[in-house]
Amino acid sequence: MKNKLIFALKIVAALLIVAALIALCIWLIPMVLSLAEPENQVRFREFIESLGVLGVLAVLLLQILQIVIAIIPGEPIEILMGVMYGTFGGLALTLVGIAIGQTLVFFAVKKLGMKFAAKFVDINKFENLSFLKDPNKRDSLIFILFFIPGTPKDILTYFAPFTGIRFTRFIILATLARIPSVVSSTWAGATISDGSFVKTLIIFAVTGVIGIGGIIINNHITKKHNNKETK
């Protein structure tokens, strides 16, 4: 009875945290979308800076929420990090948020299973990732798929606990592999902050092309390994 009560309290606490993060996201997202206007960029930066440590915590929580609630796109938040804290300051803060978010997802899925994962991602897509359960190829393929732009990283995060990979190994591989794509976004944000919009457009164009290439490569890898499994 005591164990059931403790488990119920943990669930309630987790739901309250998620609710608070969702409320924060709803509060911040309109601000993020308004950053297309230079004057809004200045006001938003001044607002976050006026909060001090709480401002850093607010954008960090937004990044964590993006990982947990997979439908929220990551790039706008990474660009915001670049606008606020520059290329490398934004990179550091983003990677901390990503690591915390991936940790929450990993242990939640590990504890609560497929039903929990189904609340946040389309688990039907897990079938396309079943080849990652092969321990001989798993680690290198997880790194590659997180490294390539355009891959479904949020779905990969929810699927990872089902592959048998150790938590520490997954966090290291997945976080480090994200660095190049995060740098491109925070760099774009930094150029927006500096008013270097030509550089911003070039970065977006290049990353867009690389992203399309990444989608093609991801589809090729997935198809290739799934075909091997069916033979």
pLDDT at 21: 54
The amino acid occupying position 143 is: F
C-alpha dihedral over 127, 133, 136, 137, to 10 degrees?
A: 40
Domain count of the chain?
Answer: 1
- Read off the pLDDT of residues 13-54 as tens digits, 9 standing for 90 and up: 656 655 665 565 556 556 555 655 666 666 767 777 787 788
- Read off the pLDDT of residues 189-205 as tens digits, 9 standing for 90 and up: 888 777 776 776 776 66
Cβ atoms of 75 and 187 closer than 8 Å: no
Domain that holds residue 75: 2-230
Distance CA 152, CA 158 (A): 10
**pLDDT tens by residue, the chain, 231 residues:** 666 666 566 566 656 655 665 565 556 556 555 655 666 666 767 777 787 788 888 888 888 888 888 777 778 788 888 888 888 999 999 999 999 999 999 999 998 889 889 888 888 888 888 888 888 888 888 998 888 877 788 889 999 999 999 999 999 999 998 988 898 888 888 887 777 767 767 766 676 666 666 667 666 677 766 665 555
Three-state secondary structure string covering the chain: CHHHHHHHHHHHHHHHHHHHHHHHHHHHHHHHHHHHCHHHHHHHHHHHHHCCHHHHHHHHHHHHHHHHCCCCCCHHHHHHHHHHHHHHHHHHHHHHHHHHHHHHHHHHHHHHCHHHHHCCCCHHHHHHHHHHHCCCCHHHHHHHHHHCCCCCHHHHHHHHHHHCCCHHHHHHHHHHHCHHHHHHHHHHHHHHHHCCHHHHHHHHHHHHHHHHHHHHHHHHHHHHHHHHHHC
Cβ atoms of 121 and 131 closer than 8 Å: no
Distance CA 111, CA 104 (A): 11
- Give this prediction's pTM: 0.73
